[in-house]
Amino acid sequence: MALLNRVGFFLYNVCLFLTIGILFFTLKHYNIADPTSTPEVSANLEFAVTALVGAYILFALLLTVISIMQKARKKGVPYAISLGALWTFVMLMSLFSLLSFILSDDITTPGWKLGMVTLGVLFSFLPAMGVLLNQFPASIDQERVLEAIKKGLKNEERENLPFCPECRAKVEPSFKFCPKCGVRFMD
């Protein structure tokens, strides 16, 4: 059984695509052993990261608007925490990728920039999934539930039937004779 409905599944795939894309482009030239020695990235790679972060911001905005407009689901503390954490990490990503010109030169080295964007996208994925699971759960397959209830009621009716005093076979209340042993029932 699926965890998300169709809208939620579509938004999940968009989020997964953007997350993997950002991780691919940020970790492509990232020096994990020594982040300070990470080389400058090319203009094309920086554009790709910036474009994907912009698309992720649009995704977060779309997710927020859709989930706020959806009045069928109650919004509680887990929803608020997930949404707040999502926007906190989206702002971290945008600060280091789109607005890095306002930061000091010490923390805008390629290692810092790519590392913070990577951490931002990694840590924003879980809150995005929390919002999706809270606001777009899959509906229960009603036909399957009804069949299970009907089957349970039939079994319960069968267990509550009277039985033959001779052979202990279950019989219908309207029977005059036992279908198994042929004994005649008294009214």
pLDDT in tens, 93-110: 988 888 877 777 777 777
DSSP 30-83: --SS-GGGPPPPPHHHHHHHHHHHHHHHHHHHHHHHHHHH--SS---HHHHHHH
User: Is the confidence at residue 72, as pLDDT, over 60?
Assistant: no
Res 133 pLDDT > 70:
yes
CA distance 104 to 119: 19
* pLDDT tens-place string over residues 134-149: 888 877 666 777 788 8
Note whether 33 and 77 are within 8 A (CB).
Answer: no
User: Cα-atom radius of gyration of the chain, to the nearest Å?
Assistant: 30
